[in-house]
Amino acid sequence: MTGNKKSCFSGHCLLFILLALSMAAGCAQVPITERRGLQFIPESNLTSMSLVEYDKILRESKLSSDKEEVDTVRRVGNRIASAADDFLRDAGMQEDLKNYHWEFNVIDDDKMVNAWCMPGGKVAVYTGILPYTKDETGLATVMAHEVGHAIAKHGNERMSQGVLAAIGGIVLSVALFNQSTGNRNIYMAAYGAGASLGVLLPYSRLHESEADRIGLMIMARAGYDPREAIPFWERMNSQAEKGRRPPEFLSTHPAPSSRIADIQKYMPDALSYYKTP
């Protein structure tokens, strides 16, 4: 009897923590979309963790020695970074500028078709994506998209979601204390699938769409034609199709048709920032 009361008490405490964290995250807002996101990890802590991981990746990777390649990435990156800073100021988020220390590196890996921007503004572009970017505008599309993730603080939101999902699993485990092992396993498996399909994957697709939208505005501000984003994503989609893309509801990225349609919808806003050279 005492054990049951203790389990219930622990469950109530964990549930309270879960609700408290959710409520505390209500003030975090994504620029442009104005969506309120779950972000309860201090940004300074996240930036410090990202810097450690970034340094580790650079140490373990082969950096490009192609001067023209590196100079191009850094030239485009600096323009995107400057536009991103202006974007934050215009969005009333100038306080966030202190968290971004922009840096751009090229990792020599022709098999990796990827690029990323960590919280804090550390950016890496893999040589494998350069055949798809083709030129500086294509490169600007990629880098602005990745910077869009950082500005929207998607890394914080994903990590916060993961913590919350883990706490929810603990709460459920405590609540099922008196159930048989078989029933507990069934409930926990259902919870894991529900958290992934119902929350984590949809939010990941939402993050991709937000990064597309923010990225369009940033590349346009930087002087790159946002209309060129469409042929870039079409090239990327043709590459993805070679790997048997999963159904959209099981994917972390929107379906190609959904992504292109959304980009076309946001294009008039992006073009309002674009000044023809």
Q: Is residue 22 a part of any domain in this protein?
A: no
Q: What is the pLDDT of residue 127?
A: 96
For the chain, counts of helices (H) and of strands (E)? 10, 3
Q: Express each pLDDT in 128-139 by its tens digit.
A: 999 999 999 999
Q: Is residue 235 a part of any domain in this protein?
A: yes
Q: What is the pLDDT of residue 274?
A: 94
Residue 13 has pLDDT above 70, yes or no: no
- What's the average model confidence in pLDDT over 196-222? 76
Q: What is the pLDDT of residue 186?
A: 46
Q: Is residue 9 a part of any domain in this protein?
A: no
Catalytic residue positions, numbered: 146
Q: What is the pLDDT of residue 216?
A: 96
Q: Is residue 100 a part of any domain in this protein?
A: yes
More confident residue, 189 or 93: 93
Q: What is the pLDDT of residue 38?
A: 67
Q: What is the pLDDT of residue 2?
A: 43
pLDDT band for 238, please (50, 70, 90 cuts).
confident
Q: What is the pLDDT of residue 124?
A: 92
Q: Is residue 105 a part of any domain in this protein?
A: yes
Q: Which residues touch 139 (CB under 8 Å, ≥6 apart)?
A: 72, 73, 76, 125, 130, 133
Q: What is the pLDDT of residue 33?
A: 75
Count of domains in the chain? Answer: 1
Q: Is residue 4 a part of any domain in this protein?
A: no
Q: What are the distances in angstroms from CA 42 to CA 65, 103, 215?
A: 36, 21, 24
97: number of Cβ within 10 Å: 13
Q: What are the distances in angstroms from CA 78 to CA 17, 74, 231?
A: 41, 6, 23
Domain extent for 161: 30-273
Q: Express each pLDDT in 49-79 by its tens digit.
A: 778 888 988 999 999 999 999 999 999 999 9
pLDDT band for 156, please (50, 70, 90 cuts).
confident
Q: Is residue 264 a part of any domain in this protein?
A: yes
205: number of Cβ within 10 Å: 18
- What's the average model confidence in pLDDT over 96-113? 92
Q: Is residue 112 a part of any domain in this protein?
A: yes
Q: What is the pLDDT of residue 144?
A: 97
> To which residue do tokens 């930087």 refer?
222
SS3 content of the chain, % helix, strand, coil (to 5): 70, 5, 25
The DSSP letter of residue 245 is: P
Q: How far apart are CA 83 and CA 99, in angstroms?
A: 16
